[in-house]
Structure 1
Amino acid sequence: MAFFSRLRLQSLTAAHRGRCNFSTILSPDSKTPLSAKDKTLAALSLLKSEQNPEKILEICRAASLTPDLHLDRIAFSVAVTKLSESNQFSYVKQLLDEHRRDRPDLRTEKFAAQAIVLFGQANMVDDAIATFKKHHEDAGSESGSVKTLNALLFACATAKNYAEVKRIFVDFPAIYSISPNLDTYNTVIKSFTVSGSLSSVYSLLGEMKKNRIKPNATTFSHLLAGFYKEEKFEEVGKVLDMMKTEYSISPGTATYNVRIQSLCKLKRAREAMALLDKMLKEGPRPNATTFAELIQGFCSTGDLEEAKKLFKSMVGRGHQPTVECYFTLIYYLCVGKDFDAAFGICKESMEKKWVPNFSTMKLLVNGLAGEGRVEEAKELVGQVKEKFSKNAHIWDEVLAGLPQ
């Protein structure tokens, strides 16, 4: 009896020591227990700079992450990205398999779906398939999970393994007794359009009709993007007509944004601008994304004056430019040597605590100095050094190269 008491005491002591170690990993200076949110925030901060794969796993264990919380899902994604980018694929597998094995609260459909997607993010399609099969086996149900099927299709598409998307879509519903839903078809249609298999999409629409699954605006947005990419403008017209006449779906802002983005990618920003004019006259109402896509489009064709007008119009209409919008415009203005406009927009961006990357900022600083505006260049460098003190030495080198 004494032996079992000692064994139990040792076990409790080890568990307590493990909890203390976990707490120390996330917040070595804290004397009070962290809330779940604080744990995740601390984990995210550590993950962004950590390179050691063992430490990355320890950080995730310490944070007790769950797929139910958005921040926790981000933390999982950051951890998997760090590991896969350094080719530590065995650690990705250990991280995800261990969480499902050791935590009963994660033996769920939701976490299985997240793990499958994360394996796809790491380009580990075989492990994504194995996780799908293991979840189906553990569930012990005759019919499979459409949620994990959709996650698996998405994982394969994320890994750009479009052949597996097709194989799984054709074979798995019958093997695992799963009825595909709208999300299933939308994922497959997007995969086909991205991979250049547009010839198959109309048969998919026919299959959806047969199975009484009505396409939505997302379905048609994928089709439009695909036909624009291949410059099949007649098919674009057919799809728009089909939306209205066969399915009574009016193109909304998201559909217009897809069309505008697609035209801008083809360097046809003027045609995209005509769509914005139509939206302003007839609806639907454009949003910040509409303007951001057009600004990107005009910047990429070198029409910086039009890009600046759109930026001004966007703000005047009450839309808040996104961080990407600021960074895109600042970069292209620097490339076009319009440093005055770039400086003004950069100051506005930094007031929102959005600082462009090093290469863009260096372009701007050197550009201002080259125009004799050395003090303004130094002012910018001072603000960046204050915000990113770890990189201060890099900016000292830039300062040393400026005219004195």
Structure 2
Amino acid sequence: MAKLEKVSPFRLTSLLRLQKDPNLALQLFLNPNRSPKPFRYSLLSYDLVITKLGRAKMFDEMEQIIEQLKNETRFVPKEIIFCNIIAFYGRARLADRALKTFDQIPSFRCQRTIKSLNSLLNALLSCQEFEKMREFFVGIDQYAVPDVCTYNILINACCLCDDLDSAWNVFDEMQKRRIWPNAVTFGTLISGLCANCKLDEAFRLKEAMVRGFRLKPNAFVYASLIKGLCKANELSLAFKLKDEMLKCKIELGSRVYSTLISALFKVGRKEDVIGVLEEMRENGCKPDAVTYNAMIYGFCQEKDFDAAFGVLSEMEVKGCKPDVTSYNVIIGGLCRDGKLREANELFEDMPRRKCASDVITYRTLFDGLCDGMHFKEAAFILDEMVFKGYAPRTASMMKFVDELCQSGNLKLLWTVLNSLAKGNLIDVDTWRMVVHMVCKNNKLLNASDLVETLQMP
């Protein structure tokens, strides 16, 4: 029997790069030759397997590899590996693990620079840990000298908190430190100003960007301004700005056109949407799900459901698969218009259309059925929702239980409570409401059974 060919360190990196399954990549890394003999891993092989595990959110397994990396003496890990790890934790909203990784970098004999600090600040921003961001920035000099990326992250945090005064203070401080702002800096500030309806300041900043800093506005800057103008119903200026983008040969993405389409529906100019779609195609911008969903939403707001369904059909003809948002918008519109049977039929037809419902789908239909006093159907949707691991909005659930208590429909109430108990969704307020109703109606014989239901894990 022929011996199995041994895997070299170089061969291992090639195999890891080709392996799509993170579990198989991990097994291959841990035992490349199926032998107890030590294996001389390369730094690249560590980087590859850590990246695959981090993207798959297999964090415990990733930590196992990181701990093994710490014991390597043949090389020093590069800082970019830790930047990536911190980013993985940030996207997973695991701020504590991101902080721990940053603190451990020196134990790998790797020097921390502004790159890892920026990665940490960005991770904390993703986790909305604004106070921890502030603490790190106050003591930033003990780690590294801040750069433009550092300040851009801080400005973004201020804008997300709607604290524009602090954003301006950060902008002023970076200039005092002789750190030149870039297009991202201005784009973030302009986006924050537009979101807070400060359009005059946003346009002044755009002019300062060009004249004072010799920077060309990018697509993000224009998109933010157009969105702000549409929000303020300044459509003529929005279209003028769109034309300026074309003149400056800045690529218009589908989101800019989708914003304009939504604004046209909002002001009752749906007949102009066809012209926008034609211009999109002429400029080589293919309508996508965002574009079509903007049209679906507009037709639903006008209660023109035939047209909304027509857009769904057009999407399929044009090779653009409707996403769950497409269906959620129509289901929501039908529910608001009291067309509950049609909404439920579309919901049940989603699997045939190869689109899985999500928590928004269930919540939208559940709320609609409750508002329409279709309690039996709402109870059925609630049970299915809980079975799939979803939960209704707390306010909706409380309102539903209250309606059942007021109507005295104890049989259906009992069914609903059992469904809620399966998902561990019964809180103290629900307990009080139901117990009060049971006692008020002298149903004390059922009270002990009710307590057992409410205590289900």
| TM-score bracket for this pair, using the shorter chain length | 0.7 to 0.9
Structure 2 matches for 1:115-154, cutoff 5 A?
115-141=154-180, 144-154=181-191
Question: Residue type matched to 1:356 in 2?
Answer: P
Give, in angstroms, the shift of residue 96 of structure 1: 5.2
1:345 and 2:376 matched: no
Question: Residue type matched to 2:127 in 1?
Answer: A
Question: Residue type matched to 1:188 in 2?
Answer: L
1:75 and 2:127 matched: yes
Q: Which residue of 2 aligns with 1:277?
A: 313
The alignment partner of 1:373 has SS state of helix
Give, in angstroms, the shift of residue 151 of structure 1: 0.8
1:220 and 2:236 matched: no
Equivalenced residue count is 330
TM-score normalised by length of structure 2: 0.65
1:68 and 1:312, CA in 2 relative to 1: closer, same or farther beyond 3 A?
A: farther
Q: Which residue of 2 aligns with 1:112?
A: 151
Question: Residue type matched to 1:123 in 2?
Answer: D
- Bigger Rg, which one: 2
Q: CA RMSD in A?
A: 3.0
Q: 1:294 aligns with which of 330, 347, 353?
A: 330
| Structure 1: runs of 5 or more not aligned | 1-32, 45-63, 81-91
Q: Deviations over 1:112-141 (max 9, x none)?
A: 223222222322212212222333443544
The alignment partner of 1:107 has SS state of coil
1:172 and 1:211, CA in 2 relative to 1: closer, same or farther beyond 3 A?
A: same
Question: Residue type matched to 1:126 in 2?
Answer: D
Bigger relative contact order, structure 1 or 2, given CA contacts below 8 A and separation 6+? Answer: 1
Contact 2:194 2:202 in 1 (8 A): yes
Q: Which moved more, 1:331-340 or 1:343-352?
A: 343-352
Contact 1:194 1:226 in 2 (8 A): yes
| Structure 2: runs of 5 or more not aligned | 1-66, 68-84, 98-115, 444-457
Give, in angstroms, the shift of residue 273 of structure 1: 2.0
Question: Residue type matched to 1:73 in 2?
Answer: L
Question: What's the % identity of the aligned pairs?
Answer: 22
Contact 2:297 2:330 in 1 (8 A): yes
Question: Residue type matched to 1:186 in 2?
Answer: A
1:292 and 1:274, CA in 2 relative to 1: closer, same or farther beyond 3 A?
A: same
Give, in angstroms, the shift of residue 395 of structure 1: 1.9
Distance 1:349 1:105 in 2: 49
1:322 and 2:345 matched: no
Give, in angstroms, the shift of residue 303 of structure 1: 1.1
1:182 and 2:219 matched: yes
Question: Residue type matched to 1:322 in 2?
Answer: D
Question: Residue type matched to 2:415 in 1?
Answer: E
Distance 1:194 1:140 in 2: 33
Give, in angstroms, the shift of residue 66 of structure 1: 5.8
Q: Deviations over 1:326-361 (max 9, x none)?
A: 111111111111122212221222123221122211
Q: 1:238 aligns with which of 254, 275, 289?
A: 275
Distance 2:246 2:192 in 1: 26
Q: 1:197 aligns with which of 234, 246, 254?
A: 234
Question: Residue type matched to 2:324 in 1?
Answer: A
1:402 and 1:154, CA in 2 relative to 1: closer, same or farther beyond 3 A?
A: same
Question: Residue type matched to 2:193 in 1?
Answer: C
Contact 2:231 2:263 in 1 (8 A): yes
Contact 2:252 2:285 in 1 (8 A): no
Q: Deviations over 1:205-228 (max 9, x none)?
A: 332233221212122111111111
Distance 1:134 1:302 in 2: 55
Give, in angstroms, the shift of residue 230 of structure 1: 1.0
Q: 1:265 aligns with which of 288, 301, 309?
A: 301
Distance 1:266 1:374 in 2: 36
Give, in angstroms, the shift of residue 320 of structure 1: 1.9
1:105 and 1:300, CA in 2 relative to 1: closer, same or farther beyond 3 A?
A: farther
